[in-house]
Structure 1
């Protein structure tokens, strides 16, 4: 579970303009912001490449490190170079991505790019999640071959920035020897980075050494996980390529340091193995959350207050999440001294190898959902042991959900006002985060509210005059009734039959909409601003689901199958939003034939074409926004 909100702007792979660092675990001072390596920054709208990418696109040089000189030449018993077998298992990932504008989600764009990957056991291809996210078309091209094979996403872990792909031709690479995973490398261990950076079409190999191992914020989602820093050159397009040492994979290239030279980051094998273990049940669960937040105890006065002597170390619990594993087991004021038998230092770190320390939450990250974590605590001067079971992904304990991929953002337009559920994507798109909204990133869902609703902006028209400059308003009530989540908000507006729909924000600030006027003027406003649908595809699908029983019930009552046409109109007041006419846009090719003749009420252009779907990920786990790991 990450605990400090850190908002940064970085370049994302393959044309995505920016990506946040979400909630960092405990640390108030964020690390140097790393940067995800896009394959082709020239395709990224509104994005500026880092210094190393603004030079002429020539093949990246070999990193100038001592490792270049001392890396031994490897020769097999038969005199061949084992690196050739490694190269055979390195692939280039060609991708077409379909992305949406966060604050104008009715607008979308497709762009091409490429990354790198490696063939592992099971005929699977391992790459970065930021390479495969939002994919509509994927092709794999192996080193030394020109033939491309169409592929699909099998599993994707956005929080780990890892994805597993498979070629649709099951025999495509059956004769290729898969690469093996090695152990976590040691400091100053020599490594080679394989991949397809910009500046050429052939495989590139750069050399360096491991210079640091610690928890870092992964740029793709801001998840705070173990990462290894290397001084080998990692450039745009290297993302997803293997980092090799002693003939085995010790990591996957991920991102490079921002405004730095020869500083790159890789996802080490402990994180890779966590994902491979996670998907054994054929779904991606992510990382669990133990349920409490802590602070360091390096301050002498604090240590004296809690009676900690020189021979005792630990961290202080200052927040408990309701209904979490820690609820009723851990108390505010407890001092946590050990995690799974590892001593916790006063700064919250644990010695994981002699002389090497990492934040204690790494040991939470190494557990799967459903496993227990053992803590030793001191409560009122007495030592105790507590076991907490990780019951569900950490994102379930966040009121503000992490970044979302592989789907159209949820939105609803009424009277020219644009409403969305508040998530990290929306926050990242703001020009500065209001304090009230930023505070919500620390909150967890409760019985009254499981999701925050925000009015992001206004499409100016005469019926919403005086609201034109309103934006980023948290909507708390509809006609005096508290809003629990976005679905509840949507249903309340749809079901309203009063003359006016009154929306209340914080401090009882009100937005009053003439319901009938909003319904009548909606088509005109949408046309004026080029909006092809007044609600997102998931809401359109919801409307059709609600309307379906009515369409079936009518024929049964009349005893003749003929009158099926009209009942397709949504069950809630059809006039509220003219888009119900377009239920044909359900993401799967909706089998709902009854929608053939939409209600004539609708004047709005039909919603976006159903061709825009999320990547062909066969497993439901792909969809979720990244969960909150340690």
Structure 2
């Protein structure tokens, strides 16, 4: 198989942010994974393979040379990264891998890569056992995915999955680790890969997969459908909530029933027809679009059918799934460390994000940003000093207001504290707690506390701008 020569081993040195001590980074570590060469002198791999990279090197099959690579784009939602190598020697004697069509059930697939257990290339084979909307672990999102029964192990990530026609039908990216499951691997299919590549080519960077900014419920109960004024043959899903930051919020309303998306009828369980009589979640239709594209949405409102031409946008989360390579934001006054909450922050503080306090978890799962720049700000920890005695027990508690003014984001809080000329700094926290310090004393105590903890600045660079 000549295509195997285009499969490369990816060596990455990662330096992750330290969310507990956001003014510094964690100790660097190395990883290896797989990737493959495509046309245009580019290499595809997984986003998680090069996340927080400080150096990326590639090695071809049968070569003893590692070539320095540049990361062109990282698609966090779809877990794909695009790399290139400036050294012309790397591209000699290699034919780029070509993409094939989306396979059907029972089609044979061969996964090629460099998994743990050896240094040479590895080949595992199986069949496509399922095609559906999958939860992408790295991206905290749901996109089309293939389930296969070929083994996918650590190091296989980013390697191609070939059809029996020697065409790439996907990228290996995760496997199911469960005591009741064996050999369940997942592959990012070609429609998702080509969407990522076209997005990068048209925009010069990765803009993301658009979403319909609504939460909906199934309409499988006949009494529910009758109460909503639906006809016997009408099918659809009811809108529960609408993201205030989404373009949809200007046109759609809660309790509208979405009947179709771009002319494709939606069933009462939220699925649409997919080839060969299969059904798939209608979010697949949305994810096929690009940011800024328009879509025709037909809804039933008060027993009347209405049509809206909606501009699609990416999702603005109250608690973002990623910080996209940026260092964490922080602000310190009198030993109080304030941070903006993200999913990586929760994972860092609680190992698994669902071990977080109930109030933060509820905001993570159900909270909606009221504006594009809204953040959930917490008092993450107290660096103990004489000035903050009695407050040292407070950790990861949301800050609602400062001196009676609501806290919209971390930058806003830092600005209000820095400009405060009132006698007291008064922070209103979750559960009606308040924290009060004398303004002059608090600001005077901050430099010594920073020096004690070897902290270079009272705030992160993004808050200084």
Does the alignment reach a TM-score above 0.5? yes
Alpha-carbon distance between aligned partners in 1 of 2:417 and 2:398, rounded to the nearest angstrom: 15
**2:236 alignment partner, one of 314, 317, 331:** 314
| Pairs within 5 Å for 1:209-248 | 209-245=127-163, 246-248=165-167
Partner of 2:111: 193
**Inter-CA distance 173–448: structure 2 relative to 1 (3 Å threshold):** closer
Per the alignment, in what secondary structure is the counterpart of residue 164 of structure 1? Answer: strand
Could you tell me how far 1:523 is from its partner in structure 2?
4.5
Partner of 1:596: none
Choose between structure 1 and 2 for higher RCO, CA contacts under 8 A separated by at least 6 residues. Answer: 1
Q: Is the 8 A contact 1:151 1:166 kept in 2?
A: yes
The answer to whether structure 1 residue 467 and structure 2 residue 391 are counterparts is: yes
Partner of 1:269: 190
- Structure 1 residues 43-64: Cα deviation after superposition (integer angstroms, max 9, x where no partner): xxxxxxxxxxxxxxxxxxxxxx
Alpha-carbon distance between aligned partners in 2 of 1:323 and 1:393, rounded to the nearest angstrom: 10
Per the alignment, in what secondary structure is the counterpart of residue 427 of structure 1? Answer: helix
**2:48 alignment partner, one of 121, 130, 137:** 130
Partner of 2:97: 179
- Structure 1 residues 561-582: Cα deviation after superposition (integer angstroms, max 9, x where no partner): xxxxxxxxxxxxxxxxxxxxxx
Per the alignment, in what secondary structure is the counterpart of residue 258 of structure 1? Answer: coil
Q: Is the 8 A contact 1:408 1:537 kept in 2?
A: no
Per the alignment, in what secondary structure is the counterpart of residue 110 of structure 2? Answer: strand
- Structure 1 residues 530-588: Cα deviation after superposition (integer angstroms, max 9, x where no partner): 5454433434xx2xx6xxxxxxxxxxxxxxxxxxxxxxxxxxxxxxxxxxxxxxxxxxx
The answer to whether structure 1 residue 339 and structure 2 residue 256 are counterparts is: no
Q: Is the 8 A contact 1:458 1:470 kept in 2?
A: yes
Could you tell me how far 1:528 is from its partner in structure 2?
4.5
Partner of 2:335: 416
- Identify unmatched segments of 5+ residues in structure 2: none
Two-structure CA RMSD over aligned residues (Å): 2.1
Per the alignment, in what secondary structure is the counterpart of residue 109 of structure 1? Answer: coil
Partner of 1:111: 29
Partner of 2:286: 364
Alpha-carbon distance between aligned partners in 2 of 1:135 and 1:188, rounded to the nearest angstrom: 37
Per the alignment, in what secondary structure is the counterpart of residue 100 of structure 1? Answer: coil
Structure 1 outlier segments of 4+, above 6 Å: none
Could you tell me how far 1:309 is from its partner in structure 2?
5.1
Partner of 1:249: 168
Alpha-carbon distance between aligned partners in 2 of 1:375 and 1:529, rounded to the nearest angstrom: 55
Q: Is the 8 A contact 2:14 2:54 kept in 1?
A: yes
Q: Is the 8 A contact 2:171 2:187 kept in 1?
A: yes
The answer to whether structure 1 residue 349 and structure 2 residue 271 are counterparts is: yes
Alpha-carbon distance between aligned partners in 2 of 1:97 and 1:172, rounded to the nearest angstrom: 23
Instruction: Using the TM superposition, name which of 473-482 and 257-266 deviates more.
Output: 473-482
Per the alignment, in what secondary structure is the counterpart of residue 517 of structure 1? Answer: helix
Alpha-carbon distance between aligned partners in 2 of 1:171 and 1:292, rounded to the nearest angstrom: 50
Normalising by structure 1, we get a TM-score of: 0.69
Partner of 1:78: none
**Inter-CA distance 333–355: structure 2 relative to 1 (3 Å threshold):** same
Alpha-carbon distance between aligned partners in 1 of 2:393 and 2:171, rounded to the nearest angstrom: 46
Alpha-carbon distance between aligned partners in 2 of 1:506 and 1:235, rounded to the nearest angstrom: 43
Q: Is the 8 A contact 1:503 1:510 kept in 2?
A: yes
Q: Is the 8 A contact 1:291 1:324 kept in 2?
A: yes
Alpha-carbon distance between aligned partners in 2 of 1:189 and 1:454, rounded to the nearest angstrom: 50
| Pairs within 5 Å for 1:386-425 | 386-390=308-312, 392-395=313-316, 398-425=317-344
Alpha-carbon distance between aligned partners in 2 of 1:447 and 1:203, rounded to the nearest angstrom: 49
Q: Is the 8 A contact 2:136 2:142 kept in 1?
A: yes
**Inter-CA distance 388–89: structure 2 relative to 1 (3 Å threshold):** same
**Inter-CA distance 380–270: structure 2 relative to 1 (3 Å threshold):** same
Q: Is the 8 A contact 2:331 2:410 kept in 1?
A: no
- Structure 1 residues 507-535: Cα deviation after superposition (integer angstroms, max 9, x where no partner): 54211123343344434434554545443
